[in-house]
Amino acid sequence: MSNNDQKNTKMPITKTGLELLLIGVIVMIVGYLLMMGGNSGDPNTFSEDIFDFQRLVAAPAVIVAGIVIEVVAIMKVFKS
């Protein structure tokens, strides 16, 4: 039996890759939690809290960082 005929039973993703996937998901969840809030108690009044730094800059940056971590975890070949 040649090497080409043998089935590759090795997992395509390593423990390090799985850990990075989990970290990326957690970072994205934190970004979505940062984006929450900013509503007013009275539906007839407008709240300026939705336009603060946390919701407009920080939360999207954290979500993009989580996506970058996910891409690295999927694309990078880690030594097992």
**How does pLDDT run across 27-41, given as a tens digit for each residue?**
999 999 999 977 777
- State the first-to-last Cα distance of the chain, in angstroms, to the nearest integer: 26
27 vs 79, residue with greater confidence:
27
**Rounded to two decimals, what is the model's pTM?**
0.78
Letter string b/e over residues 27-62, b meaning 16 or more CB atoms within 10 A of that residue's CB: bbeebeebbeeeeeeeeeeeeeeeeeeebeeebeeb
Q: With cut-offs at 50, 70 and 90, classify the pLDDT of residue 2.
A: low
Q: Please report the pLDDT score of residue 69 as a whole number.
A: 96
Q: Please report the pLDDT score of residue 11 as a whole number.
A: 67
Quote the mean pLDDT of the chain.
Answer: 86
Please state, in angstroms and rounded to a whole number, the distance separating the CA atoms of residues 62 and 18.
20
Which residue intervals of the chain are DSSP H helices?
A: 15-35, 53, 59-75
Residue 73, token pair as written in the block: 């975890």
